[in-house]
Structure formats: structure tokens, C-alpha cells
């Protein structure tokens, strides 16, 4: 699968051939949410495809003030694909945001930041290509309820696969008893795996819109799944995450279900990660490959890993961007928080995939999750890795033992660094450690991002009592 159009002329020809009625302009904000504007096909011409479409940047959280709100969406024409869900033929275009006041790509546009990160690698003379392969896990629930008010807070999710339904009497059907149970979802066949047809539909739709799909399977937790998509360059991979999340959510929705990429929606079961495979290339050669080394990993690759680990607490502010992220990063649920590397060992934060030859040798960072804005997460990891290459950072490892079995004291005795334990800790690290992000990330963006995350996520979360707090302290 690949591009459907390569130029503006091909775009209009493709639209005519497919009787396109609407053009949907998509862009991403700093928290990774996709937004859109829809134009009638008759209102779209070569001029606005080249020079941009106006929109109000003040209505997007943490972007422009009201007195400097006019901005432009610049379409990336080769990203065009037909929306598989609209009633009328609609073509979607990924867009970058342009700042008319500074006459440059907008410093708070995540997609533009990722482009600048790749350009930075080229300017350093280190690499001319960066490939990323994210693995986004998700849950499918039958319904979700939540409340957040001054005197009441709570949530409830339900899934036909949930072991809590083992004694439920259903109104319109019988209870068949086929359920994977907690941590039992890897990978039983139907009827225990109830999502076979749903995942198959998702895979077919993803291929329809241009992604190269390799596999789909039930994940470890009840109600959890994953679909494998072939890697791409840093921008294409992030674009694919946006497509992937859109398709998974829409297919679930149209089948009367609800999908979430939330890292830890179920207490006591595995959570959703976004394991991210990465490699740097130059002049057509994989810089991460060195035959005969541990895992066939070059010194450049190890320095790249060392850079990510060196800045891991600040990196986490982008790769694990929610308070819920850190409920996943605890021992016992296959979500590594110990900053070391290993070949094949999934308990390490960085895994070297087995059996990779020269073209396929890569590193897999296992701590990120899908609350990250993919453009920012990939760019931040690459900037940290590039800094590690420049300063020749060496990571702790390799460690091939089961790190989940280590006690906290043993981790400290071995001198193994860890991921931060809260979003607050990650953001405070970002405030103290952000030089490695410059000049790609501006001071204005970094300040805006950390203020936004504190005000939107950290402080509201810290100020709210939880059900567990009532359970442990109400009777004191």
C-alpha cells in the first residue's frame, strides 16, 4: 500500500474519479487530538492547496490568543485518502499549521516539530532518515460510564469478555462462559476471543486507507487487542497512528462498541502501551547495525539508547503524557519502567528484537503509550537519542534477567535508573532538562506544554479524592 496521489494535479484527478464531494482538512494539537475542517470540493483549488486554508487558532487549547488567532492550514497533498466512514465521498488531507505572524511553520504544531527534528538530524550530519514502528494497543468495551463532580466521582466499563460477567444473566442471550480472564488474553481462539471479526474489519479498513497491515491479535488483558502496521518514516509513522486510532474507534463505534487507547482502564489487568521501534539511517545504510555485537547493535544505537535513558524523565512528559500513564508503569503488568536494554527480554525498557539482520536491526522502546501525541513522542525520543550519539552516552546493560522479579532495593543496588512515577515528576524533569530539545522545540512551546499539562492534568488529578482513598481513610 502507498500514496494515492503525488501532486496537486493527481489530487484533482483522483477526486474527480471518485466523485469526491468534500475535502476534510486534519491537523493535530499538542495533546495529540485530531481536529478537522470540511470544505466543499467546489471551494478547493490549486491556490489554497498551495498557500493554505485560514482557520481560528485561538479555539485550540494552548495555542493562539484571541488577538492573534488567524492561522493557515497547509495541506500535505500526498497524504490524501478517502474517508471510509462518511456517507458522501470525502477526501482527508493531513495539514501542517502555518504562523502568519512569524511567517513560518507554527512552533506549536506537532507535525511541524517532527519535521524539524528530522531536519536537525540531517544538519548534524548524523542521519538522513529516521524510521519508527509504533505498536498501539487498545481496549474494546461494550459501554463506559463516568462521573466527576464535587461530591461524586467514579467510572464503570463493561465488556462481554470481562470475568466480572461470569455470573451475569443477560436479557437477550445466554451466558456462554467463554472468557479469557485477567491476564488470560494472549491469545486464545474464538469464542474466548470475542473480537476476531471486529479486528478483521479494522485491518481491512486500515488497508483500504493505505496502511500496510501485517497481523492482528488479542492482547493479554480481557477486551484488549492490537493490530500490527508496517513501520514508516517519522512523519508517516505518526500520521499512521492518527489513522489507526481513527479507524479503531470508528469501527468499534459503528459496531455498537467503544474503543479506548487509555493506558490503564482496568485495575489489576495489563494496560495499553505504544511500544516504539526506531532506527536511524544515512546514505541507505542502517546506522544501528553492527554484526557480531550484542543483538547486532552498533555503538551508535547504544549511544542513541543511552541518550533516551539519560533524558528519560523529561522524555516521559511527552511519551507518557497523562496521569493515567503512570498507573500502567508498575511492576507485574509487562510495562517496563527500568531503564536498561536487553535482546529479546520484554521486561527491559528497551528491547532489541530477535533475529534482525542488517535492514531490520532496531531498538524497541517499550514505555511509551498512546496518550502521547505521536509526532511529539517520536521527535522527543529522537532528539534525546541524537544527544546521546553526540555525547556518546552508554546505557546500563545489557540485562537479560527477568527485571520484573527485582525488588526496589535490588534495582537501587544495581544502580539501574527508572522512569518517573508520576506525570508531575516527568514535567518537573522537563523544566530542569530541556536543552537537548533545542533548537527544534522552542522555549515558548516547552513552557506552554508544561503549563498546559500541569493545569489540565496534574493539578486537577491531585485535587480530587478517589474511591480508594475513601476505602482507606474514611473511617480514620
The CATH code of the domain at 8-106 is: 3.10.20.70
Strand partners, 350: 341, 365
pLDDT at position 334, please? 63
Instruction: Return the C-alpha cell found at 448.
Output: 506552554
Give percent of the chain above pLDDT 70: 97
Strand-pairing partners, residue 92, are: 24, 81
- Give the relative orientation of helices 312-319 and 443-453 as an angle to the nearest 10 degrees: 70
Catalytic residue list: 56, 135, 137, 219, 226, 275, 346, 364, 366
Low-confidence ranges of the chain (pLDDT < 70): 1-2, 332-335, 344, 355
Strands 213-218 and 90-99 come out as unpaired
DSSP-derived pairing of the beta strands 232-233 and 143-148 = unpaired
| Contact indicator for 394, 383 with CB cutoff of 8 Å | no
**pLDDT per position as a tens digit, 444-475:** 999 999 999 999 999 999 999 999 999 999 99
Burial 179-216, CB ≥16 within 10 A → b, else e: bbebebbeeeeeebbbbeebbebbbebbeebbbebeeb
Q: How far is CA 23 from the centre of its chain?
A: 26
Write the pLDDT tens digit of every residue in 136-190.
999 999 999 999 999 999 999 999 999 999 998 988 888 888 898 888 888 889 9
Q: What count of other Cβ atoms lies within 10 Å of the Cβ of residue 460?
A: 12
Name the CATH topology of 129-473.
Creatine Kinase; Chain A, domain 2 (3.30.590)
Could you give the angle at which helices 299-310 and 374-391 cross, rounded to 10 degrees? 120
What does the pLDDT read at residue 397? 82
DSSP string, 196-239: HHHHHHHHHHHHHTT--EEEEEE-SSTTEEEEEE--EEHHHHHH
| 320 close to 271: Cβ distance less than 8 angstroms | no
R_g over Cα of the chain: 23
pLDDT at 400: 78
Domains of the chain, by residue range, sit at 8-106, 129-473
Q: Helices in 256-396 by DSSP H: which ranges?
A: 299-310, 312-319, 325-328, 374-391
Task: Return the number of other C-beta atoms located less than 10 Å from residue 358's C-beta.
Answer: 12
Contact 224, 270 (CB under 8 A): yes
> What pLDDT is stored for residue 332 in this prediction?
65
Transcribe 312-348 into DSSP letters.
Answer: HHHHHHHHS-STTHHHHSSTTSS---B--EEES-TTS
Amino acid at each position: 500500500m502507498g500514496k494515492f496521489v503525488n501532486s496537486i494535479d493527481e489530487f484533482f484527478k483522483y477526486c474527480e474519479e471518485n466523485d469526491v464531494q468534500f475535502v476534510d482538512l486534519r491537523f493535530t494539537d499538542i495533546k495529540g487530538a485530531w481536529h478537522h475542517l470540511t470544505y466543499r470540493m467546489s471551494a478547493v483549488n490549486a491556490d489554497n492547496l498551495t498557500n493554505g486554508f485560514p482557520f481560528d487558532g485561538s479555539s485550540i487549547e494552548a495555542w493562539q490568543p484571541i488577538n492573534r488567532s488567524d492561522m493557515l492550514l497547509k495541506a500535505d497533498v500526498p497524504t490524501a485518502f478517502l474517508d471510509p466512514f462518511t456517507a458522501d465521498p470525502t477526501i482527508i488531507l493531513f495539514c501542517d499549521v502555518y504562523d502568519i505572524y512569524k511567517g513560518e511553520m507554527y512552533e506549536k504544531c506537532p507535525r511541524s516539530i517532527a519535521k524539524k527534528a528530522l531536519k536537525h538530524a540531517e544538519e548534524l550530519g548524523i542521519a538522513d532518515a529516521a524510521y519508527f514502528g509504533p505498536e498501539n494497543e487498545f481496549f474494546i468495551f461494550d459501554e463506559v460510564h463516568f462521573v466527576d463532580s464535587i461530591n461524586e466521582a467514579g467510572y464503570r466499563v463493561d465488556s462481554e469478555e470481562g470475568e466480572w460477567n461470569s455470573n451475569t444473566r443477560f436479557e437477550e442471550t445466554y451466558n456462554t462462559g467463554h472468557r479469557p480472564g485477567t491476564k488470560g488474553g494472549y491469545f486464545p481462539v474464538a469464542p474466548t476471543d470475542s473480537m476476531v471479526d471486529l479486528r478483521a474489519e479494522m485491518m481491512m479498513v486500515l488497508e483500504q486507507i493505505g496502511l500496510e497491515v501485517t497481523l492482528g491479535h488479542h492482547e493479554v488483558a480481557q477486551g484488549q487487542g492490537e493490530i500490527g502496521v508496517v513501520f514508516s518514516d517519522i512523519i508517516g509513522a505518526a500520521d499512521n497512528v492518527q489513522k489507526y486510532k481513527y479507524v479503531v474507534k470508528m469501527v468499534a463505534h459503528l459496531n455498537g462498541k467503544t474503543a479506548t487507547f487509555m493506558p490503564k482502564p482496568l485495575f489489576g489487568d495489563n494496560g495499553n502501551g505504544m511500544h516504539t521501534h526506531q532506527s536511524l539511517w544515512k546514505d541507505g545504510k542502517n546506522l544501528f547495525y553492527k554484526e557480531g555485537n550484542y543483538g547486532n547493535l552498533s555503538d551508535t544505537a547504544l549511544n542513541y539508547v543511552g541518550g533516551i535513558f539519560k533524558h528519560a524523565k523529561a522524555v516521559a512528559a511527552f511519551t507518557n503524557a497523562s496521569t493515567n500513564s503512570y498507573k500502567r508503569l508498575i511492576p507485574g503488568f509487562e510495562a517496563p519502567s527500568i531503564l536498561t536494554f536487553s535482546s529479546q527480554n520484554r521486561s527491559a525498557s528497551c528491547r532489541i528484537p530477535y533475529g534482525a539482520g542488517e535492514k531490520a536491526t532496531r531498538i524497541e522502546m517499550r514505555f511509551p503509550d498512546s496518550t502521547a501525541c505521536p509526532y511529539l513522542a517520536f521527535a522527543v525520543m529522537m532528539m534525546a537519542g541524537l544527544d546521546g550519539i553526540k555525547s556518546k552516552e552508554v546505557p546500563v546493560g545489557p540485562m537479560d534477567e527477568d527485571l520484573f522479579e527485582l525488588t526496589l532495593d535490588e534495582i537501587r543496588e544495581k544502580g539501574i535508573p527508572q522512569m518517573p512515577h508520576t506525570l508531575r515528576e516527568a514535567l518537573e524533569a522537563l523544566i530542569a532538562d530541556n536543552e537537548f530539545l533545542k533548537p527544534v522545540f522552542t522555549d515558548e512551546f516547552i513552557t506552554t506544554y508544561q503549563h498546559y499539562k500541569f493545569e489540565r492534568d496534574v493539578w486537577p488529578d491531585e485535587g480530587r479524592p478517589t474511591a480508594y482513598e475513601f476505602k482507606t481513610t474514611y473511617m480514620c
